[in-house]
Amino acid sequence: MNMSNPDNCILQHKFIVFCGDHYNPLTLIRSLGEDGIAPIVILAHPSPYLVPKSKYIGTLHRVNTNEEGFQLLYEKYGNEELKPFVYSCSDDIESLLDTNFSILENKFYFFNAGTNGGITHFMDKEMILRAAEQCGIPVPKSEVVKHGSLPATVPFPIITKSIKSTVGGWKNDVFVCRNEKELLESYNYIKSDPVLIEEYIEKDNELCIDGISINGGQEIFMPFQANYIRFTNKSYGNYMTISPFRDLELERKIKQLFRLTKFSGIFSIEFLITKDNELKFLEINFRHSTWALSSKLGGANLPKIWAQSMLAQQLETGKLELREQPFTAMAELSDFNDHVRHGNLSFRQWIKDFRNCECTYIYNSKDKKPFYSLITHSLLIILRKYIRI
């Protein structure tokens, strides 16, 4: 199916962002809004303060839970003449859509793997690690253990992780442990059961690639990559350099992996770069990622391209003019918390870096209200804590 005017075709459909209150969906809403698409937003949060402030929202529905949002999506928009495009920005919402694939497939375009639970299966870190290994992608040594148990095959030092982002404490379950004593102590705080144990590798950097996959993983588009300017030993960074992705051998292996998962949608895939400049696979996020906004600045609006490609049943990327020169981007609040609040970076240097960024994920000169609402919300939290003290 070839479309003579893709913009006219997709604009006849409704665009729906099903999300929580986070700057990830905010960047998605802006990506669509800046190209003249005012999306419908189903916001699952009891007291949101960030997403509702965006001027680019067409219609806003506020619900308290994901389940209420799913019911609203199905009942209000499930019988449109033209199937709406539905975007998910979190693993829990994506899993909810994914496990109801058979109910939704004839009513919406959404991220899926062609069967009920197909994506949720690969949200299990053990499953996706084994799939990556099968496709020739190097992975860290790992094993899954019961809560409170010691690893049998992975030597110390190790890093602990939730087996799925939708269970346990997610990022709060991440601990770097140098020995058995530290691991046993960490179990006092880890909520996940079972727990993924990985070898801890001293990293030189990390690599994150955002893209889209269509036709069950048969066609992949990955225009840009992110490498981090600063990061912590437990997680990726939030201040980064965006540059064209040109590793053809890695691209071949990633395409093989997506054919295996049969995924269609927007994704990000992450790797650790060792001190020896070797790649180790970390995970795939089978959903829209915050970093996707930087691809738009580089000339590739991934949410819009995904919609065009779904209608065309092939990648609609031939007329794009992609940026060749690298540029910097920042998730401001996370970078500030990781480095300035912990005393690793001066406030003066952080302000300088922030001002030099071409892409910021919260502040937007054309859509300022979410940023100021976030600042107000953060100050109120600090004030309430101070008053209690």
Read off the pLDDT of residues 298-307 as tens digits, 9 standing for 90 and up: 999 999 999 9
Q: Is 302 helix (H, G, I), strand (E, B) or coil?
A: helix
Residues 176 and 224 in one domain: no
4 pLDDT band, cuts 50/70/90, is: low
Residue 267 lies in a domain: yes
> Which range among 23-37, 40-54, 157-171, 198-212 shows the weakest confidence by mean pLDDT?
157-171
Q: What is the mean pLDDT of residues 14-30?
A: 97
CB 161 within 8 Å of CB 174:
yes
**For 330, phi and psi rounded to 5 degrees?**
-150, 135
Residue 30 structural domain: 6-113
CATH of the domain at 341: 3.30.470.20
> What is the predicted pLDDT for the residue at 306?
97
| Domain C-terminal end among 133, 168, 199 | 199
* Angstrom distances, CA of residue 359 to CA of 25, 164, 194, 240, 302: 16, 30, 38, 10, 15
DSSP 151: P
Residues 195 and 216 in one domain: no
Q: What is the mean pLDDT of residues 91-95?
A: 96
Residue 293 lies in a domain: yes
Residues 153 and 99 in one domain: no
> What is the predicted pLDDT for the residue at 53?
97
> Which range among 154-163, 168-177, 262-271 shows the weakest confidence by mean pLDDT?
168-177
Residue 265 lies in a domain: yes
Residues 60 and 176 in one domain: no
Residues 41 and 148 in one domain: no
CB 176 within 8 Å of CB 200:
yes
2 pLDDT band, cuts 50/70/90, is: very low
Residues 190 and 209 in one domain: no
CATH of the domain at 147: 3.30.1490
Residue 185 lies in a domain: yes
Residue 158 lies in a domain: yes
Residues 231 and 303 in one domain: yes
Residues 75 and 20 in one domain: yes
User: Percentage of residues in the chain with pLDDT exceeding 90?
Assistant: 88
Helices of type H across 78-153? 91-98, 101-104, 118-123, 125-134
Residues 356 and 212 in one domain: yes
Q: What is the mean pLDDT of residues 79-86?
A: 97
Strand stretches in the chain, DSSP E: 15-19, 40-44, 59-63, 85-88, 142-145, 158-162, 175-177, 195-199, 203-214, 219-230, 239-244, 265-274, 279-285, 327-330, 359-360
CB 222 within 8 Å of CB 247:
no
CB 297 within 8 Å of CB 291:
no
pLDDT in tens, 191-238: 999 999 999 999 999 999 999 999 999 999 999 999 999 998 777 899
Name residue 175's beta-bridge partners: 160
> What is the predicted pLDDT for the residue at 1?
43
How confident is the prediction for the chain on average, in pLDDT?
A: 94
> What is the predicted pLDDT for the residue at 5?
60
How many distinct structural domains can be found in the chain?
3
Residues 211 and 194 in one domain: no
> What is the predicted pLDDT for the residue at 44?
98
pLDDT in tens, 278-297: 999 999 999 999 999 999 99
Task: Look at residue 95 and tell me whether its pLDDT is greater than 90.
Answer: yes
Residue 381 lies in a domain: no
Residue 262 lies in a domain: yes
pLDDT in tens, 327-353: 999 999 999 999 998 898 999 999 999
Task: Look at residue 9 and tell me whether its pLDDT is greater than 90.
Answer: no
Cis preceding linkage at 84, omega within 30: no
Residues 163 and 233 in one domain: no
Residue 1 lies in a domain: no
Residues 191 and 298 in one domain: no
CATH of the domain at 89: 3.40.50.80
